[in-house]
Amino acid sequence: MEDSNKTRIQEFYATFQAARTDLSSRLEALKAGGQPDSDKLHALVADAAKLRKEFIDANGYLPTYDQRQYEQFLKSVEADIESLRVTSAPKPKFAFKRRPPKASTPSTAQTCADHAKEAPILSAPPTSSSSHLALSGHSHKYLDGGSLPSLASSSDLTISDLEDCIVNLLTLPSLSDAEDGGQCKFTALHARNLSNTVLILPVFDGSALLHDLKRCTIALGCHQFRMHASHAVDVYLSIESNPIIEHCSSIRFAEYPRALSSTLDASPSILHETSKHLAVQDFSHIRATRSPNWSALPAEALPSGDDWGLVVRRDTSMSRDDMEEAMPRLLPAQQ
Amino acid sequence: MGLLTIIRKNRLKEKEMRILFLGLDNAGKTTILKKLNGEDISGISPTLGFNIKTFVHGKYTLNVWDVGGQRTLRPYWRNYFEQTDALVWVVDSGDRMRMQDCKEELHSLLLEDRLAGASLLIFANKQDIQGSMTCAEIRDALDLSSIKSHHWKILPCSAVTGENLIAGLDWVVGDVADRIYYGSSSALPTNPQTAEVVVS
């Protein structure tokens, strides 16, 4: 057994050495010859591949030192051939074609990546516009139901780009086609980019989605509450599910004020019996420890019924002076 | 008997489909699932993590994965791509302000190799709310016509009223069945690269 292995090793050594000198000389000739002859090159490639195969077959009985030596030589030959091939002919264009989506939406992928780098929150302009309740682009104003268009039935409510405003939508415009004088209802709230604004909303069926709020006070009741990328907001909430905050800081939560629910047409029983306004989940802080981004509003910081009354118990619009009196009492303290 | 036939026969025995529900937060993914399953939908909290629901639809058992859509959770979506037969992309039809965001998330998903070939259903949810975008508006806002890599269809629906939810599942199951189980169904095999389903 040992003997036969020895002879095989020697035999392989002989054949390998012969092939080696042959391959090396042919390689040199091709290299020297300027533009390599493609037929000769192909023959060389085939021979190198054959030698590689023989080497792999022989691996079973070759000692490791020999294996390394042969391997090294083969590698260098293959690298030389590869470089010759590159110079002799432009590399054939080979590509997997199964990537049609990339070709069709390159801009999307690009902007996506850009966005990821830029900021965690998008502020893309709204697309399309069919009729819905919307309040947008006001400053230093008192806005109530009268500021909204009158619609036929329930709708979604969009509030965006407000500064130093008080929005009171406890009373919404009456339905345009209703005989019984029923109110417009909204079943979804989307708010974006509000600052120094007091937003007072009724308790409604649906979800609230808020983006980019700075130093605001919000009172509302809803099914689901999500707030993103906001800072210094006091939230007075009546809710059955867990409120969510993400990329937020200095958010304080409290119960929906009784002073507001009593002014609603319906009885206060519409408030969620067991509100979970303090079961806040911070998606930016998914850990066992308490999130530093929100807290419960301390009792001594709660506005009194009178403070809310300044804003809600009036038939006419608020003057600038009224607003300046009311806002500091409701908004979170300036930092 | 080729390997493909063996694989098909094997899957035929299971008659299972894996469906992935994705979409931005507040789209109503969990609500749709709970509604389909006949559960109470009033106290649903935003999904932290994921839900799995298994139900029988026609001849098939559907394993539906519903993964939270909050921005911080989206990087984890990739963990759920493996072996997905169909992707259901849920859109909040009232969320005009984030349609661009929605489009980008969807199109980047479609580049995923592991989702290649999966059927794509777009649920234009919350149609019960007046003023929401119509199917045609959403199709344009999401640039669905540019999708050539997947079989897709958009359906208006409402998780609150239940409108079109079953119809959507029917389409998903039918489309996946045609592709994977076509040996058993009478339908001819279709080529996802060329065929396109457009419904507005």
Q: Does B147 touch chain A (CB under 8 A)?
A: yes
pLDDT at A263: 64
Nearest-Cα distance to chain A for B77, in Å, is 15
Q: Answer whether residue A247 is part of any domain.
A: yes
* A296 and A186 in a common domain: yes
Q: Answer whether residue A123 is part of any domain.
A: no
Strands B60-67 and B50-57: antiparallel
The domain in which residue A198 lies consists of 131-330
pLDDT averaged per 10 residues in sequence order, chain A, 335 residues: 77 87 85 73 85 84 84 86 73 56 43 39 40 81 78 76 90 60 75 93 89 94 92 92 93 89 58 79 87 91 85 73 84 80
pLDDT at A25: 87
Residues of B identified as active-site:
70
* A221 and A185 in a common domain: yes
* A140 and A64 in a common domain: no
pLDDT at B159: 92
Residue pairs spanning A and B at CB distance below 8 A: 144
Question: Does the distance separating the beta carbons of B71 and A247 come in below 8 Å?
Answer: yes
Six token digits for residue B140: 């344009």
Residue among B26, B134, B141 minimizing CB distance to A209: B26
CATH number for A239: 2.160.20.70
Q: Answer whether residue A103 is part of any domain.
A: no
Q: Answer whether residue A335 is part of any domain.
A: no
In sequence order, which ranges of chain A are alpha helices (DSSP H)? Answer: 2-32, 38-58, 64-88, 100-104, 106-118, 258-261, 305-312, 320-330
* A226 and A161 in a common domain: yes
* A152 and A74 in a common domain: no
Q: Answer whether residue A82 is part of any domain.
A: yes
List the helix and strand counts (H, then E) for chain A.
8, 13
Six token digits for residue B66: 């519903």
Question: Does the distance separating the beta carbons of B46 and A244 come in below 8 Å?
Answer: yes
Question: In which residue are the tokens 């009724």 written?
Answer: A202
Identify whether the C-beta of residue A216 lies closer than 8 Å to the C-beta of residue A196. yes
Nearest-Cα distance to chain B for A186, in Å, is 8
Nearest-Cα distance to chain A for B190, in Å, is 17
A75, A97, A118 - which closes a domain: A118
| Residues in chain B, pLDDT under 70 | 1, 11-14, 181-200
pLDDT at A106: 41
CATH number for A61: 1.20.58
Partner A, chain B 46-85, Cβ-Cβ below 8 Å: 46, 48, 70-73
DSSP secondary structure string for all residues of A18-31: HHHHHHHHHHHHHH
* A164 and A28 in a common domain: no
Q: Answer whether residue A267 is part of any domain.
A: yes
The total number of structural domains that make up chain A = 2
pLDDT at A38: 75
Q: Answer whether residue A96 is part of any domain.
A: no
pLDDT at A109: 40
Q: Find the farthest-apart pair of alpha carbons in chain A and give their distance in angstroms, rounded.
A: 111
pLDDT at B13: 67
* A166 and A308 in a common domain: yes
pTM confidence score: 0.67
pLDDT at B28: 93
| CA B167/CA B169 separation, integer angstroms | 5
* A113 and A136 in a common domain: no
* A290 and A166 in a common domain: yes
Q: Answer whether residue A219 is part of any domain.
A: yes
pLDDT at B110: 92
* A312 and A182 in a common domain: yes
| CA A196/CA A199 separation, integer angstroms | 10
* A259 and A149 in a common domain: yes
pLDDT at B132: 85
* A259 and A145 in a common domain: yes
